[in-house]
Amino acid sequence: MFPAAFDYRVPATLAEAVDILHERGDDAKVMAGGQSLIPLLKLRFAQPALVVDIGRLPNLSGIRRQDGHLTLGALTRHVEVERSAELKAACPILPEAAHWIADPLVRNRGTVGGSICHADPSGDWGSVMLALGADFVAHSKSGERVIHAADFFQGPFTTALRADEVLIEIRIPLGSGRSGGAYTKLERKVGDFATVAVAVQVELDGGKVAKAGIGLTSVGEKNLKAAAAEKALVGHEPTDEVIAEAARQAAAAAEPKEDIRGSVEFKKDIVRVFVQRGLKTAVARAKEGKA
């Protein structure tokens, strides 16, 4: 298989990239690592007239910590997140989730930003970013704007990003108190899409949950934010009963479809079990003082 013919541009700067998109954004696809886009091009599910390869733009890669935030450059590869000792200490859900993405070869090429913009409902980063309450920085010829993760994912492979915009950075607020997170995934084999996966992040204050974020993978038309489950946690001590109730709420919010990976009932129950397990791990990590 090979893609249909396309024009190919490799902008040398971000300014050049957004100029190109300003002119031809509607006919173009932006490519970073290409690990989602190239399979779509080969299957000819996508046939853009132009591919804008931003994969080697300078200064859009890397992990930094500043002003109570973690920032990930959009071109940061999954493998960099997976191997980051700093993230393992500062935000363990990130390397934990990275470890489960596709397989090691794909993680060597694929980027965090590319995966987020691809917005596959079975993608892992979307749920993690929903749980972390991340902000996405979009750049266009008219400047920058910040899109909250909860507003970003609109449907299958559909985001709030305009055709003339490039995602350049992901900003993750680091909690002020004790926080912890976990990513739990069920897959049939390495490289398969998740049957179900769950991202949870909690922040504790005085023994009670001050903030909670729960994101669900592969159980809806997009990565879902389990808002009712989050609400069931905030202000409460994370007892087994409180966690069990939040897990029930998350399962109720899941909208899976029956497919080769399992029935609706099965997937909803996996959501319940994983939210429960994830929360217990997250609370334990928060108590250990891991961010």
Instruction: Using CB under 8 A, pick the residue from 17, 20, 28, 34 that binds other proteins.
Output: 34
Nearer to other proteins, 34 or 238 (CB): 34
Q: Which is nearer to other proteins, 3 or 173 (CB)?
A: 3
State which of residues 30, 41, 216, 279 lies at the interface with other proteins (CB under 8 A). Answer: 41
Paired strand residues for 166? 139
Q: Give the per-residue contact string, 93-132, with other proteins (x = CB under 8 A; - = no).
A: ---------xxxxx-xx-----------------------
Contact code string over 61-90 relative to other proteins, x by CB under 8 A:
------------------x-----------
- Interface with other proteins, residue 27, by CB under 8 A: no
* Cβ 207 to other proteins shortest distance, Å: 37
Is 127:215 a contact under the CB 8 Å cutoff? yes
- Candidate segments 3-11, 14-22, 159-167, 235-243, binder of other proteins by CB under 8 A: 3-11
Position among 51, 74, 166, 282 found at the interface with other proteins (CB under 8 A): 51
Region near other proteins per CB under 8 A, out of 40-48, 61-69, 176-184, 224-232: 40-48
In the complex with other proteins, which residue's Cβ is closer, 41 or 229?
41
Task: Write down the least CB distance from residue 161 to other proteins, Å.
Answer: 22
Residues 250/160, Cβ–Cβ less than 8 Å: no
What does the CA dihedral 240, 172, 199, 230 come to, rounded to 10 degrees? 50
Residue 53 binds other proteins (CB under 8 A): yes
3-state secondary structure the chain: CCCCCCEEECCCCHHHHHHHHHHHHHHEEEECCCCCHHHHHHCCCCCCCEEEECCCCCCCCCEEEECCEEEEECCCEHHHHHHCHHHHHHCCHHHHHHCCCCCHHHHHHCEHHHHHHHCCCCCHHHHHHHHHCCEEEEEECCEEEEEEHHHHEEECCEECCCCCCEEEEEEEECCCCEEEEEEEEECCCCCCCCCEEEEEEEEEECCEEEEEEEEEECCCCCCEECHHHHHHHCCCCCCHHHHHHHHHHHHHHCCCCCECCECHHHHHHHHHHHHHHHHHHHHHHHHHCCC
Residue 188: CB minimum distance to other proteins, A: 12
Contact between 173 and other proteins per CB under 8 A: no
Tell me the per-residue interface mask from 177 to 206 with other proteins, x by CB under 8 A, - otherwise: -------------xx---------------
Enumerate binding residues for other proteins (CB under 8 A).
1-8, 10, 34-35, 38-39, 41-43, 51, 53, 55, 79, 102-106, 108-109, 190-191
